[in-house]
Amino acid sequence: MTTNQNTFKNISLLIMRLALGIVIFPHGAQKLLGWFGGYGFDGTMNYFTSSVGIPYIIGLLVIIGESFGAIAIILGLFGRFSAASLFIIILGALYFDHAQHGFFMNWFGNQKGEGYEFDLLTFGLSIPLLLQGSGAYSLDAVLERVLKRRERSDLASV
């Protein structure tokens, strides 16, 4: 791949990371902190365990994944893991809640719940990040450079 193609690939990965993280973070902040009209940690956990019937630990992982995972995606930290986590979380939302309401989100409040169009967009952003990683403009790339430098330094001292 030429430098120009690498640049476009890495800018594309950055744009995908930012879009995914910026859209998911408010959903995590609703669940964790009660921001943006959310119910906060206790209210969300009560909904997950009582209404949806998922185990406490799964609810906890969802809240952590949507809040801290979204921040990690934005920063490009543990990109593949974070993208896989968000994919799995949204797959769960699709299965437990969204699929039964059809395709469209509930823009006008005229259906019982949210459809799965948001889920498809999330999949479309998370899968390339899962497959390709965070790209050059990420903390993952910085960590990789630091670790390679350290490895070369260790080999030179042997």
**What does each of the 158 residues of the chain score in pLDDT, given as a tens digit?**
666 888 899 999 999 999 999 999 999 999 999 999 999 999 999 999 999 999 999 999 999 999 999 999 999 999 999 999 999 999 999 999 899 998 988 888 888 888 899 999 999 999 999 999 999 999 999 999 999 998 888 777 76
Residues 17 and 76 sit within 8 Å (Cβ to Cβ): yes
Residues 130 and 144 sit within 8 Å (Cβ to Cβ): no
> Among residues 96, 137, 142, 136, which one has the least CA distance to residue 119?
96
Ranges of each domain in the chain? 3-156
> Among residues 131, 132, 126, 119, which one has the least CA distance to residue 16?
126
To the question of pTM greater than 0.75 for the whole model, the response is: yes
**What single-letter amino acid sits at 45?**
M
